[in-house]
Chains A and B, each alone.
Chain A
Amino acid sequence: MKEIVIVSGKGGTGKTSITASFAYLGGQDIILADCDVDAADMHLLMQPDFATAEDFYSGQLARINPESCTNCGACADVCRFDAITVLEGHYTIDAINCEGCGYCPRVCPEKAISMIEQKVGQRYISHTKTGSPMVHARLGIAAESSGKLVTKVKTEARALAQAQHKKFVLVDGSPGVGCPVISSLSGAHFIVLVTEPTVSGFHDLKRVYELVRSFNLRAGCIINKSDLNPQITDDILAYLQETGIFHIGSLTYDESFTKAMVNGLTLPEYTNGSLTKPLKHSWKTIMAYVSNSGD
């Protein structure tokens, strides 16, 4: 079983549409994992049935019991997050600022503070329209711990892949370079970087690749909307060569991306035209590359 993670640094480069297309092309060989838990959109293309759901608890919030609190203020003195303020004469926890570190209950002489476990999201295992399973999640509003939820989604997806003897786990990562991305990269066999020829897209590609390289992971790149700015496309190609990133393929700017999405379809389902061919080629290339490499 090989794990392929798709990331982009910058949002809006077409990462999710491309991942869903690979999931469609890979069919029964694939377990799909949507690790963009902050803005999970994969379900809009794969029609999962949300067959099983499990609450995900992570982290804590402090709560002051006003009955036993004597307003001594010891808690506010140690809080580094400005989360304890005096409201109408009483020390109160600001749930938005509270980091859940658990320092304040340890210094409260009245034992008036308790730490409450937080439900931060839900994790689902679904059947999708390709007949292959998908593991996905929904992070609660304003929740922390998206990195931990990513890890949970990936762990479940791997276990399913082992149990069902699937060849690939296909992971849709989140934008950025912070904790959810780091969690989605860990343990991957191959990274697909999706970029676009814009100054911003190229800038973010370099940052996310720096992260990928620090984990010693092998990577390939797909340039989406490649005809939008041919000069930057050339610059990206030169960068790929220089850094040893494998150029998987390029896709031209095409409104089918949006139209397929509006119809709830992956690209190969929506069009047999200009995009399907390079996508099929890209997927074959990735499969060959990953299958021929060791662990």
Chain B
Amino acid sequence: MKIAIASGKGGTGKTTLSTNFAAYLSQTRPVLLTDLDVEEPNSGVFISGQLVHSEIKYKMIPQWSGDCSLCGLCHEVCNFNAVIQLADQILIFPELCHSCYACSELCPESALPMIPQAMGELKHYVSEQLNFVDSRLHIGQEQAVPLIAQTKKYIQAHFDPNTLQIFDAPPGTSCPLIEAVKDADFVILVTEPTPFGLHDLKLSVDTMRQLNKEFGVVVNRDGIGNDHVLTYCQNEQLPVLAQIPNDRQIAELYSRGRLLYNEVAEVRKQLDSIIEYLQLPYNGGTP
């Protein structure tokens, strides 16, 4: 089963929930946690393990051979302005390239071969029953989507599809989020009971409905703000899977990069409530 943990607004507790949920579940079954928030990956702050694999991830970009008749077809076919024809040369803007191969494969003179360009790094750690895969975008790279897609490919190639998989998704509702959640079986939307939290939750709910996803809501920092998030969930008939209290002790543990479930009984109870809702078998995963 694939569970993605997402939120419209940043900083609502997505990573806190992902890491605690995965580590807690891994005490009783094999779990894979993947950090797909490749722009600012923070799961690794809370999860450690033995590094078993690391690799640089590349995206494919065209490179001009320097020798062609400058017919201009490459410039014309590129929908992303990544290939520009000047009077005497072809200019490539790799950060704008979406790796569609159109310029390269349609070039009548094969003057634009595709070459790999490093865009980020993937690392795979293991700690007992918890596998953890982390990808981070190199600074200056604009597009998170190709790295997210390749990280998911690594997982497909290395893990049994029946493994229980938790994904820490990027914030927002645009292309990186879609790429991260599009093949999830269930999405947990983390929010906080504030006007910002509610506003961005509504956007996330619209997104999940448009994607036809099964999803539920976790309210973090319960007790701050107001009850409008809960009223909204009630009116929209959205399941509220857990309510994690607003607590200075939690904030301080978090600030030090510590997991919560061992030290805060209430967090354990809330995680159990999510497990119960999802009906995760005690020793699920690979039969």
Contact = CB atoms under 8 A, between A and B. Distances in A.
A232 B100 CA distance: 44
Contacts of A96: 178, 182, 211
B284 interface: no
A281 interface: no
Interface stretch (A37-45, A68-76, A151-159, A284-292): A37-45
Interface of B: 8-12, 15, 39-40, 42, 45, 77, 79-80, 98-102, 105-106, 137, 139-144, 170-176, 178, 182, 194-196, 199-200, 203, 206-207, 210-211, 224-226, 251-252, 254-257
Contacts of A119: none
A238 interface: no
Given A142-B174, A182-B142, A102 B77 contact: yes
20 contacts: A13-B11, A38-B8, A38-B173, A39-B171, A41-B9, A101-B80, A103-B77, A115-B79, A139-B174, A146-B175, A177-B137, A178-B137, A178-B176, A198-B256, A200-B257, A211-B139, A228-B251, A229-B252, A261-B195, A262-B226
Interface residues of A, number: 61
Contacts of A39: 8-10, 171-173, 196, 199-200, 203
Interface of A: 9-13, 16, 38-39, 41, 44, 59-60, 78, 80-81, 96-97, 99-103, 106, 115, 139, 141-144, 146-147, 174-179, 181-182, 196-201, 203-204, 207-208, 210-211, 214, 228-229, 232, 253, 255, 258, 261-262, 264
For A199, A200, A204, the residue with the greatest tally of chain B CB atoms inside 10 Å of its CB is A200
Contacts of A229: 252, 255-256
A210 B101 CA distance: 31
A103 B74 CA distance: 11
Contacts of A174: 172
Contacts, number: 176
A106 B9 contact: no
Nearest to A228: B255
For B141, B196, B210, the residue with the greatest tally of chain A CB atoms inside 10 Å of its CB is B196
B170 A176 contact: yes
Given A96-B211, A177-B40, A261 B225 contact: yes
A12 B45 CA distance: 17
A70 B224 CA distance: 59
B185 to A, nearest CB: 16
Nearest to B43: A200
Contacts of B174: 38, 139, 142-144, 146
A9 to B, nearest CB: 5
A196 B255 CA distance: 9
A198 B255 contact: yes
Contacts of A176: 39-40, 144, 170-171
Question: What 9 A-B pairs come out closest when comparing CB atoms?
Answer: A12-B11, A11-B10, A101-B100, A38-B172, A176-B39, A199-B257, A11-B11, A103-B102, A229-B255
Given A39-B9, A200-B42, A60 B79 contact: yes
A283 to B, nearest CB: 21
B225 A141 contact: no
Given A39-B8, A41-B199, A142-B173, 18 more contacts: A12-B11, A39-B173, A80-B100, A96-B211, A100-B79, A101-B102, A103-B101, A139-B173, A142-B175, A143-B175, A176-B144, A178-B142, A204-B42, A208-B40, A214-B140, A228-B251, A262-B195, A262-B226
B45 A211 contact: no
Contacts of B225: 258, 261-262
Contacts of B100: 80-81, 99, 101-103
Contacts of A179: 142-143
Contact of B255 (A78, A197, A258): A197
A146 B178 CA distance: 13
Contacts of B203: 39, 141
Given A12-B9, A38-B174, A203-B45, A78 B211 contact: no
Contacts of B254: 198, 200
Contact of A175 (B171, B210, B226): B171
Contact of A228 (B102, B194, B200, B252): B252
Contacts of A11: 9-12, 171
A32 B190 CA distance: 29
Contacts of B142: 147, 178-179, 182
A13 B40 CA distance: 14
Given A41-B199, A44-B199, A106-B106, A141 B207 contact: yes
B77 A106 contact: yes
A207 B41 CA distance: 10
Contacts of A253: 251
B6 to A, nearest CB: 12
Given A41-B200, A179-B142, A255-B224, A80 B99 contact: yes
